[in-house]
Amino acid sequence: MQLEQVHTQPDPYAPYLLSQAIRVGGFLFVSGQAAVGDDGKIDGPGDFDRQADRAFRNLERALKAGGSGLDRVAKVTIFLTSMAHFGKIVELRRKWFSAPYPADTIVEISALYSPDAMIEIEAIAVVDGAAS
């Protein structure tokens, strides 16, 4: 099975030598999507709501670039720098996903790649054209 690298334009993660996503077989493995803007900087330092919205929009963009979408996500892992935002994550899951909701793991961590980052979301999704 061949690994296919997925690119977005712009790709603010390219300097870190990682792929936005990797497509293999009928699956898409999306790297952690933070609230990084097109300029490579964190969008909304100190503003969790703004960062969470940007992280979900970045996730959606990476999924589309890989031939999938939010409605095809099987599993997400959401990393938070504070579990105080757990309630907001439940709201966001309702906004960005629909039933059947993806399997999910939410983890509180001490830090992300930038001291300004408050959230990061990685996902595994089924790609278009994959068997049901």
Indicate whether 116 belongs to any domain: yes
Domain that holds residue 64: 3-126
Question: 131 lies in a domain?
Answer: no
- Per residue in 14-32, pLDDT (tens digit) is 888 889 999 999 999 999 9
Q: What is the pLDDT of residue 130?
A: 55
The answer as to whether 108 is a domain residue is yes
Provide the residue type at 101 as one letter: Y
Percent of the chain past pLDDT 70, that is, above it, reads 97
Q: What is the pLDDT of residue 15?
A: 82
Residue 44, in any domain of the structure: yes
| pLDDT at position 39 over 70 | yes
CATH of the domain at 114: 3.30.1330.40
Q: Is 117 inside any structural domain?
A: yes
How many domains does the chain divide into? Answer: 1
Note whether residue 115 is domain-resident.
yes
Average pLDDT over all residues of the chain = 93
Confidence of residue 57 (pLDDT cuts 50, 70, 90): very high
Each residue's pLDDT tens digit, 70-108: 999 999 999 999 999 999 999 999 999 999 999 999 999
Examine the pLDDT at 132 and tell me if it is beyond 70: no
132 is a domain residue: no
CB-based burial label for 56 (10 Å; 0-12, 13-18, 19+)? buried
On whether residue 56 sits in a domain, the answer given is: yes
Strand order through the sheet with 103-108: 3-6, 21-24, 27-34, 119-126, 73-80, 103-108
pLDDT at 40: 85
pLDDT digits (tens, 9 = 90+) for 113-130: 899 999 999 999 999 765
